[in-house]
Amino acid sequence: MTTASPAPTDPQRTRADRRPPGSSRVGPLTDHPVVLALLYVAAGAALAAGSLALDRWLGPDRTPSWLHVDPSVAQALTTGFGSSLLFVISVVFMVRMWAVQMSAEPLSARVRRRFLSDPVQRHAMGALVGSMTFVILVARAVPDADAGGSVPQVSVAVACAIPVMAAVLVVFALRNATHWGEIGRLIRWMTDNCLRVIEDTHPPLDRDRPAGPPATIPRGADDAGHPVLAHDSGWIQQIDLDAVLDALPPQATVELSVRAGDFVTEGIRLATIRTGPTGAPHERVTAAVRAAVEIGADPTLEQDLGYGIALLVDIAERAGSETGSDSTTVREVILHLGIVLRALLLRDLPPTWRTAGAGRAVLLPHQQSFGDYVSIAFERIRLTGAQSPTIARCLLSTIEMLVGQLEDAGLPDRAAPLVREARLVLDSAKESLTLSADYERLCDQVTPWLARTGDPEASPRPVAARR
């Protein structure tokens, strides 16, 4: 029996692939704002129980005299503090909603996810709720002035210190909410997220990496094999390739028809299973593939870099619209898109195949190309800012910078999508700019480096006739 030469191993097992399905989307239980608030409520109740137990152990005689207050004063203090904390919580909540509304203007409603998951805001609200729980329980333990009994002096003293802590916490939370809504911080936050996705999903540059799957992996016609159909409609959030490989029998192959970030409808083909000469049943593998493809109501950044780039473009598109007309924000987005594309173009694309032992393989033929990412980054901005020479110059400068980076890295073959995009920027400017001098300046800017790339049209074309 002849043994086929082993297929190359997986070029890179990324961190995103090693995460269990749903781990990034669901996260720890404490990430849920309601669960976190309940934990702070439990902490406040435990603190109240501990301080009241300490008061009972100390008794009136061993409690420091400077902590002593009358029952009527203790009731007034704890009742007033409880009401004040309730008002403070309401104010902080309204400020949070205001921050969401203000931040959603430049970024659309998708920004609400980040605000609701902001740890500062979640812990601030939780701490205020826990503090109110403590004060209410202490207030219930204070006896009436006419009924007699000892006042829990230590607990009342702690309850008096809580409003000071709450005031400091509110100031810090409001400052965080105000700075959080700044457009520059949002742009930088999304840029950092895109860079993280690139690091997780795109392997470092390796000029010796094979361009395609090895010939030892069997590939039949598109209609061959056993189809795996989607059980629901929605966005593909992530695909656990390890789970698919683990479920495959020897010499079996799964070819995925979708990728993370695609929108699928119920019944559409997700993958094709080919079990090879073993003829193993498809039911178990079908169930494993269907479970590995996570479908949700919203797209996520976990394995979909294009979604992160699109979020940045959303800001530029809104800022560059007729109602926004904020070219400074558009320029800032373009510059940050240059950071993202530079990190992307200097790495390799995710592999289009994964292999394991015993001839098992997963094929991913529908991955995004460098040209796809360049189009996602620049197309909508180019159309939105077609009448702005400032935006056109910024686009061309960013593209020139990227082309220069690729040339310095010895990767001029990856510059073709950028050159094509620069040519489209010039074409849009020629049709949209009012003054011919603006178009001529753009041509003067772009002609030298376009000629260096070997572009056959790297010379200023005649300016279109103006009415």
Does residue 161 contact residue 85 with C-beta atoms inside 8 Å? no
* pLDDT recorded at residue 223: 44
Q: Which of 80-94, 193-207, 239-253 has the lowest mean pLDDT?
A: 80-94
Find the mean pLDDT for residues 374-391: 89
Percentage above 90 pLDDT, the chain: 25
- To 5 degrees, how large is the angle CA 159–CA 160–CA 163? 90
pLDDT at 268: 92
Residue whose pair of structure tokens reads 């104010």 in the numeric block: 91
Query: Which position has the token pair 């074309």?
Result: 461
- Cβ neighbours of residue 306 closer than 8 Å, sequence gap 6 or more: 261, 368, 372, 373, 376
E-assigned strand segments in 397-458: none
The listed range with the strongest mean pLDDT (63-72, 170-179, 429-438, 454-463) is: 429-438
Does pLDDT of 179 surpass 50? yes
In the predicted structure, residue 467 carries a pLDDT above the cut 50: no
What is the 8-class DSSP label of residue 212?
A: S
CB proximity list for 292: less than 8 A, separation 6 or greater: 21, 239, 240, 241, 243, 244
Structure-token match 């090895």, residue found: 214
CA 169/CA 124 separation, integer angstroms? 7
Task: Name the nearest CA neighbour of 422 among 452, 464, 465.
Answer: 452
Highest mean pLDDT among 88-97, 139-148, 150-159, 197-206: 197-206
**From CA 60, how far away is CA 58, in angstroms rounded?**
7
Please write down the HEC assignment for all residues of 287-348.
Answer: HHHHHHEEEECCCCCCCCHHHHHHHHHHHHHHHCCCCCCCHHHHHHHHHHHHHHHHHHHCEC
pLDDT (tens digit per residue) in 22-31? 334 444 555 6
Tell me the per-residue pLDDT of 394-427, one tens digit each, with 9 for 90 and over.
999 999 999 999 999 999 889 999 999 999 998 8
Report helix, strand or coil for 365.
Answer: coil
**Predicted TM-score of the model (pTM):** 0.72
Q: Are residues 317 and 377 in contact, defined by beta-carbon separation less than 8 angstroms?
A: no
Residue type, 223: D
State residue 373's pLDDT score.
Answer: 95
